[in-house]
């Protein structure tokens, strides 16, 4: 293998650099190892006897944690540092309820004051419940839900107390479900009425009740049977307490209520479920709505 002159020059330069580095670092190491050790300062001992001193303890600042406040879901949802509330799941209402930590129950809790009895969809104030007559001369059997009156009426009849007028009435065969997948053609009465409050036409049939789309709740005092009908946004007083109905839901039946009372430091918000399984009939309400 031939070595060019340029390669020889590079090899020579590298050899000289290695030898120079070895000489420099070897000289520095020899100087450091041959240098005299640094002088150690002499320790001077005092002639006086040792006297033990007392050191003042450092000041300790103690802070007391503030009482935990309720969460937005209600007064019972209080989470202490090491004592959370007892949470329960209601399978029927499909909602969670809680019991506040016992460590925070410094005073006897005031009874909430109302219970939810049932939640119902609001029926239209006029219902068609049947028909009477012969072909071409049919009259509808109507029920006034505000007064409980039942009467016969045909097209052109206006009920001023209901602000409703009957525009048309017909009775004709229609398919009606009579079982699982089975139908039967039966006569069905259908009436078209004009609602003067909403300025809309409403179709009534004697086969089913007509609802407005609004949901109402029926509440009562604990242990009482007389109910009161309420809707979202309603505010009323019972004793010294003021209640506001926040929301009403049909499925599952429940209402959100906000209570204010002179005995409460802050509003008490709760979600109420029916106190008993839903019944077909309700006790008469304490007051009727128009």
CATH number of the domain enclosing 205: 2.30.30
First to last CA, the chain: 117
Do 247 and 148 sit in the same domain of this protein? no
- The tokens 């505000």 sit on which residue? 146
Dump pLDDT digits (tens) for 187-219. Answer: 999 999 999 999 999 999 999 999 998 899 999
**288 belongs to a structural domain:** yes
pLDDT at position 82: 60
pLDDT at position 290: 32
Peptide bond into 251 cis (omega under 30): no
**56 belongs to a structural domain:** no
Q: Which of 152, 187, 209 is the last residue of a domain?
A: 209
Tokens of 173: 């065969």
Structural domains of the chain, count: 2
Do 200 and 248 sit in the same domain of this protein? no
Cα distances (Å, whole numbers) of residue 22 to 17, 27, 32: 9, 8, 16
**229 belongs to a structural domain:** yes
User: 223: burial class by Cβ within 10 Å (0-12, 13-18, 19+)?
Assistant: exposed
**174 belongs to a structural domain:** yes
pLDDT at position 61: 78
Q: Which of 209, 242, 270 is the last residue of a domain?
A: 209
Do 222 and 114 sit in the same domain of this protein? yes
Do 178 and 235 sit in the same domain of this protein? no
**224 belongs to a structural domain:** yes
**130 belongs to a structural domain:** yes
Do 167 and 290 sit in the same domain of this protein? no
pLDDT at position 23: 78
Do 205 and 216 sit in the same domain of this protein? no
Q: Which domain holds residue 137?
A: 125-209
- Ranges of residues in the chain with a pLDDT under 70 are 1-4, 65, 67-110, 277-290
- Whether pTM > 0.75 for this model: the answer is no
**30 belongs to a structural domain:** no
Q: Among 117, 151, 140, which Cα is nearest to 190's?
A: 140
pLDDT at position 15: 84
**48 belongs to a structural domain:** no
pLDDT at position 83: 63
Q: Among 231, 277, 289, 278, which Cα is nearest to 257's?
A: 231
């Amino acid at each position: 293998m031939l070595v060019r002159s340029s390669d020889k020059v590079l090899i020579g330069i590298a050899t000289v650099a290695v030898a120079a580095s070895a000489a420099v670092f070897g000289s520095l190491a020899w100087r450091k190892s041959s240098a005299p050790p640094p002088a150690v300062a002499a320790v001077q001992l005092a002639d006086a006897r040792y006297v033990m001193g007392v050191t003042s303890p450092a000041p300790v600042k103690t802070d007391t944690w503030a009482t935990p406040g309720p969460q937005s879901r209600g007064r019972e949802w209080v989470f202490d540092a090491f004592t959370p509330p007892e949470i329960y799941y209601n399978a029927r209402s499909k909602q969670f309820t809680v019991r506040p930590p016992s460590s925070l129950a410094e005073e006897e809790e005031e009874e909430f004051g109302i219970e939810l009895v049932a939640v119902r969809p609001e029926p239209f104030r006029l219902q068609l419940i049947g028909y009477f007559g012969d072909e071409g001369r049919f009259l509808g059997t109507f029920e006034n839900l505000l007064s409980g009156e039942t009467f016969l009426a045909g097209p052109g009849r206006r009920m001023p107390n209901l602000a409703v007028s009957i525009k048309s009435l017909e009775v004709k065969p229609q398919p009606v479900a009579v079982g699982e997948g089975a139908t039967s053609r039966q006569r069905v009465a259908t009436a078209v009425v004009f609602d003067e409050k909403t300025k809309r036409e409403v179709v009534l049939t004697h086969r089913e009740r007509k609802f407005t789309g609004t949901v109402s709740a029926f509440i009562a005092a604990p242990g009482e049977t007389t109910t009161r009908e309420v809707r979202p946004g309603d505010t009323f007083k019972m004793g010294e307490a003021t209640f506001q109905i926040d929301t009403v839901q049909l499925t599952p039946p429940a209402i959100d209520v906000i209570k204010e009372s002179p005995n409460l430091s802050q509003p008490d918000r709760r979600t109420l479920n029916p106190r008993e399984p839903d019944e077909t009939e309700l006790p008469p309400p304490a007051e009727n709505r128009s």
